[in-house]
Chain A
């Protein structure tokens, strides 16, 4: 188990604040955050390339905070791969093997095995400058795996790849993780995080906002930032008058005057609410239903998705609603059509 305990680091104006995380062996943790959030700094601290001002790092109970970079069992793959341009792919992969006291034959065999795993055998005699982004990323992975790190640290590994190559590399990363390797993967793409991770940690301005299983984080985001980052679009600022209750429900009012009923009492008089798009029902008529929030509006836009469609429905506020392709067809949904939307008070969550 890798434990990061209260790591802090100040670098000019940037401040990484008090990061604590526990990562189980074989876990796939995604550090999710915008550019400049401090994700790469945290990776470099774990790799030993940056010394933290405070805090410690423990691997399987051993404090590795002061362990030298060379001895630290962390393999880092940079976003731009950082392949050595003056060496062939073969020499790049073999670079980390020379410290292990292996014979020439053993190094050759190990390089061949790693190249096969990363599917770069045909590239061994090429120079990095002649490789495509996907090929270079695979070589970088093979090179890092050669030093047999306990934890693999990946800095935006899919960022520079096109869709097909992303898919291929994602499979390779899953394969590596399934072989028991712990992976910490930095990204700003929540879809990437959702499809690969066993655990997600969201970081903003050097602060760890939330971490846990993807479904927990995406379902119960602790802040507007996490919610927006998780792809949730129906976030509204609401003002409450706690004494105003109706049938045990609290009523929040958005700046545009939309009233939203919520089960839980608000912690503050002004707060943010969110309603997952999947929890909103679209209908042609007002429904006799237990959903206490019902609004009449019209379809402003229809965005086709792989598995269905996203409807932007305009009421006093704009709602994003995810529906299936069947629903689009059966309800004959089209722009400008007037519809009703409804959701339960229990579907509404505070941020």
Chain B
């Protein structure tokens, strides 16, 4: 009994340490920033503009690339095809490579000299040094979160439900939109939220493609490099609070439960 009690205490102690490791630096950052610094930072148009840009660029990346990736996630969950393992591995690649390297790689296909870059120029926007480039960089590094969560979500939907729907005369497309997607909604949304959150924090790939317009992680780095910690900290604190608020809101939205039978 005593031994059991000691084990429990040890687990609680080490768990507490890990949580402290995550929370302490963030809490320290938030608490060390004075109310006047918060106010000043919120009123700083460069900061608010940068936060808006970061939020919307990441949202854009999620809406365009994340949603386009959902059919791929379904395919990976349901179908067997040659080299499926390799495809699954490739999807995780952006997570494991250095993001500055990812930025360099992306630059190779979207810079002005490439046909994608030129197509963008003709359509009136530039990837390099533009919002479109930021969106692409954010999407590249955060897509694995959306695909993996959606794939696991689709795989958890009982295949019999899809078969039953097909047997009732529904087309595969109708089955996808009325059965597979609604039942995998929670993990799919959760993956999209994670993708969006990961996009917000992206620095390495974005700075290679677009130093300007400045997303907040780049702005924080720029203030730190040019003016020092005391100038960078309030911006970081405000950005963390904004991200936290939106992230919690999105997570709550995506947590809706179903009475799942079968």
> What residues make up the interface of A, taking CB atoms closer than 8 Å to B?
44, 47-49, 69-71, 74-76, 78, 80-86, 95-96, 99-100, 127-131, 136, 143-144, 146-147
Contacts and interface: CB of A to CB of B under 8 A. Distances in A.
A124 B102 CA distance: 54
A120 to B, nearest CB: 15
Contact of B161 (A49, A76, A84, A144): A84
Contacts of A83: 261-262
A128 B259 contact: yes
30 contacts: A47-B163, A49-B167, A69-B166, A69-B167, A70-B170, A75-B167, A76-B163, A78-B160, A78-B164, A80-B160, A81-B262, A82-B161, A82-B262, A83-B262, A84-B164, A84-B179, A85-B161, A85-B259, A85-B261, A85-B262, A96-B169, A99-B170, A100-B169, A127-B259, A128-B259, A136-B261, A144-B167, A144-B168, A146-B168, A147-B169
B260 interface: yes
A308 B261 CA distance: 41
A144 to B, nearest CB: 7
A49 B168 contact: no
Nearest to B167: A76
A49 B166 contact: yes
Nearest to B164: A82
Nearest to A74: B167
Given A81-B262, A99-B170, 13 more contacts: A47-B163, A48-B167, A49-B163, A70-B171, A81-B261, A82-B161, A85-B259, A86-B258, A86-B260, A128-B259, A144-B167, A147-B168, A147-B169
B3 to A, nearest CB: 42
Nearest to A140: B164
A138 to B, nearest CB: 15
Interface residues of B, number: 21
B169 A70 contact: yes
A321 to B, nearest CB: 44
A83 B161 CA distance: 7
Query: Would you list the 4 A-B pairs with minimal beta carbon distance, nearest first?
Result: A129-B259, A96-B168, A82-B164, A99-B169
A334 B164 CA distance: 53
A82 B160 contact: yes
Nearest to A143: B168
A70 B173 CA distance: 12
B76 interface: no
B228 interface: no
A166 to B, nearest CB: 20
Contacts of A82: 158, 160-161, 163-164, 262
Given A49-B167, A95-B168, A143-B168, A85 B258 contact: yes
Interface of B: 158, 160-161, 163-171, 178-179, 182-183, 258-262
A78 B168 CA distance: 12
Contact of A85 (B166, B170, B260): B260
B77 to A, nearest CB: 18
A184 to B, nearest CB: 14
Contact of A84 (B165, B166, B169, B171): B165
Contacts of B165: 84, 95
A70 B168 CA distance: 7
A47 B166 CA distance: 10
A289 B164 CA distance: 60
A99 B179 CA distance: 15
B170 A95 contact: yes
A70 B161 CA distance: 15
B40 to A, nearest CB: 49
Nearest to A91: B178
B5 to A, nearest CB: 39
Contacts of B179: 84
Contacts of A144: 167-168
A85 B106 CA distance: 43
A113 to B, nearest CB: 17
Contacts of B259: 85, 127-130
A71 B178 CA distance: 19
A84 B160 CA distance: 10
Give the interface centre of A48, A70, A80, A129 by most chain B CB atoms within 10 Å.
A70
B51 to A, nearest CB: 36
Contacts of B183: 85-86
Nearest to A70: B169
Give the interface centre of B160, B171, B258 by most chain A CB atoms within 10 Å.
B160
A196 to B, nearest CB: 22
Contacts of B262: 80-83, 85, 128
Contacts of B166: 49, 69-70
Contacts of A81: 261-262
B260 A129 contact: yes
A86 B169 contact: no
Contacts of A136: 261
A100 B167 CA distance: 14
A84 B262 CA distance: 9
